[in-house]
């Protein structure tokens, strides 16, 4: 049965927007807060001797106005998680969301799973944590191994797919976005499923919907058409270099890092001569030597990044003095049979930290010759 917790507190993690319980469990929310000295219990429970007690078999209903307005995780510190609620007969305390849940006597335990965000950019590398919880019949948290999956399949990857439940709800698993640039069919809604490792075919909980959306394209490739090496760059006033320049003499591409699992480029440096004594240097990479570049959009880049995408463009010794931010998109990337880049086309945008409203934008095309 699918239910929803009907009350939330701002200091708590995201509530379980949609939870499927095993063995026909029915549950409803009671936040255990006091208003004017009185305990406030949610639908399906009532106050009895200072406790939230189950009042019957009615299902809890969802009040959309009470859903969280953002996708922040909230406070998951032990001080919040371990505070006791007055959960009485017929109810169990959820150790993660801190609500009293009504449980049918016919069931012995319940499970729930959620993602840390309701949206994920489908760029092939973005991730969000997965949280899971199980409560046994005696009210103690389950620490058993569970298996995560996705429905429909193909809209991302859960890594690792198995993890152990903990009291605080954290797991070792993350949802890795699919690449909507390469595979637009993977865009849309996905739900995380959870099953006990002892019964992997039996789903005991599903998350709320996570929306996979396409990243916004970067600049334009129109000035770098196929057929030959190309370079085009344009900078707004306020950048270290202002104006437009194009390739005049030669272009080269160096592979900076190779991903060990594939031997493909994790980072590159493109060089373009635009005048007799002027060369543009464009550096881009995944920010980790473990992941190869792929045809997608890389956002929120910095220079010399170690965990986030890396990008920087400068003309000779002229560069952003206090660093820069930007984004780039790999449109085409092929390799020679013996290794090395055969052809690559990319677009990019960059803002200096000192002048964030001024942009340098451009494109390049490298063709091995």
CATH of the domain at 78: 2.60.40.10
pLDDT level of residue 276 (50, 70, 90 thresholds): confident
- Looking at the domain assignment, is residue 223 inside a domain? no
For 22-48, write each residue's pLDDT tens digit.
333 333 333 444 444 455 554 445 666
Is position 221 within any domain?
no
**Is pLDDT of 1 > 90?**
no
pLDDT, average across residues 69-74? 30
| Token output for 271 | 């060089």
Across the chain, how many H-helices and E-strands are there? Answer: 1, 28
Residues of the chain above pLDDT 90, percent: 47
Close Cβ partners of 366 (under 8 Å, ≥ 6 residues apart): 229, 251, 252, 253, 270, 341, 343, 344, 345
Last residue of a domain, one of 213, 241, 268: 213
CA–centroid distance for 128 within its chain: 4
Helix (H, G, I), strand (E, B) or coil at 116: coil
What is residue 238's predicted lDDT score, i.e. its pLDDT?
87
Identify the domain containing residue 131 by its residue range.
Answer: 2-213
**Which of 213, 240, 271 lies at the terminal end of a domain, its last residue?**
213
| Count of structural domains, the chain | 2
What confidence score (pLDDT) does residue 215 get?
Answer: 94
d(CA 47, CA 55): 10
Q: Are residue 55 and residue 163 in the same domain, yes or no?
A: yes
209 and 272: one domain?
no
HEC profile of 134-180: EECCCCCECCCEEEEEEECCCCCEEECCEEECCCCCEEEEEEECCEC
pLDDT at 81: 25
Higher pLDDT, 339 or 86: 339
Pairwise CA distance, residues 248 & 250, whole Å = 7
Phi-psi label, residue 128: left if phi above 0, alpha if psi -120 to 50, beta otherwise: beta
- Give the residue-averaged pLDDT of 222-226: 95
Average pLDDT estimate for 227-251: 91
| 218 domain residue, yes or no | no
DSSP H stretches of helix in the chain: 78-81
Q: What is the mean pLDDT of residues 204-214?
A: 91
Q: How many CB atoms lie within 10 A of CB 37?
A: 5
Residue 222 in any domain: the answer is no
Highest mean pLDDT among 2-11, 41-50, 311-320: 311-320
Question: Tell me: the pLDDT tens digits for 149-186?
Answer: 999 999 999 999 999 999 888 899 999 999 999 999 99
- Mark whether 17 and 138 lie in a shared domain: yes
Question: Looking at the structure, do residues 249 and 354 belong to the same domain, yes or no?
Answer: yes
Do 133 and 169 form a contact (C-beta atoms < 8 A)? yes
Q: What is the pLDDT of residue 248?
A: 86
CA dihedral 54→58→60→64, nearest 10 degrees, is -140
- The CA distance from 308 to 304, in Å, is 9
Specify the pLDDT at position 3. Answer: 29
Percentage of the chain lying above the pLDDT 70 cut:
69
Q: Which helix (H) or strand (E) holds 212?
A: strand 210-213
Give the count of alpha carbons within 13 A of 261, CB side only.
Answer: 6
Please tell me whether residues 163 and 236 are part of one structural domain.
no
Q: How large is the average pLDDT for residues 182-196?
A: 93
Quote the pLDDT of residue 30.
Answer: 39
**Model pLDDT, residue 305:** 54
Taking only the tens place, the pLDDT of each residue in 99-157 is 555 544 445 678 899 999 999 999 999 999 999 999 887 888 899 999 999 999 999 99
Residues 207 and 284 reside in one and the same domain? no
Residues 126/120, Cβ–Cβ less than 8 Å: yes
User: Are residues 235 and 335 both part of a single domain?
Assistant: yes
């Amino acid at each position: 049965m699918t239910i929803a917790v009907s009350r939330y507190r701002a200091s708590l993690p995201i509530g379980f927007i949609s939870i499927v319980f095993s063995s026909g469990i029915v549950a409803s929310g009671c936040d255990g807060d006091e208003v004017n000295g009185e305990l406030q219990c949610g639908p399906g429970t009532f106050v009895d001797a200072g406790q939230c007690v189950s009042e019957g078999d009615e299902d809890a209903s969802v009040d959309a106005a009470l859903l969280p307005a953002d996708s922040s995780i909230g406070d998951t510190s032990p001080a919040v998680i371990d505070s006791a609620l007055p959960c009485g007969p017929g109810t169990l305390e959820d150790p993660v969301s801190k609500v009293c849940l009504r449980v049918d006597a016919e069931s012995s335990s319940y499970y729930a799973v959620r993602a840390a965000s309701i949206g994920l950019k489908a760029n092939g590398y973005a991730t969000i944590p997965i949280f899971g919880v199980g409560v046994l019949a005696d009210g103690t948290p389950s620490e058993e191994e569970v298996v995560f999956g996705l429905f429909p399949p193909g809209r991302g990857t859960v890594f690792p797919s198995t993890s152990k439940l903990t009291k605080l709800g954290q797991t070792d698993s993350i949802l890795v976005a699919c690449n909507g640039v390469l595979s637009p069919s993977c865009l849309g809604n996905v739900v995380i499923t959870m099953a006990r490792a002892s019964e992997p075919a039996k789903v005991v909980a599903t998350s709320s919907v996570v929306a996979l959306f396409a990243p916004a394209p970067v600049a334009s490739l129109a000035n770098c058409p196929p057929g030959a090496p190309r370079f085009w760059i344009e900078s707004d006033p306020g950048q270290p270099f202002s104006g437009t320049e194009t390739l005049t003499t030669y272009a080269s591409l160096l592979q900076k890092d190779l991903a060990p699992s594939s031997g493909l480029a994790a980072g590159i440096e493109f060089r373009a001569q635009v005048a007799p004594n002027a060369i543009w240097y464009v550096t881009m990479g995944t920010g980790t030597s473990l992941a190869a570049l792929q045809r997608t959009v890389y956002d929120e880049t910095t220079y010399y990044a170690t965990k986030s995408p890396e990008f920087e463009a400068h003309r000779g010794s002229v560069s952003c003095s206090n660093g820069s931010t930007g984004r780039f998109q790999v449109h085409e990337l092929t390799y020679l049979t013996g290794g090395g880049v055969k052809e690559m086309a990319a677009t990019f945008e960059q803002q200096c930290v000192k002048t964030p409203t001024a942009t340098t934008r451009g494109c390049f095309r490298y063709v091995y010759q």
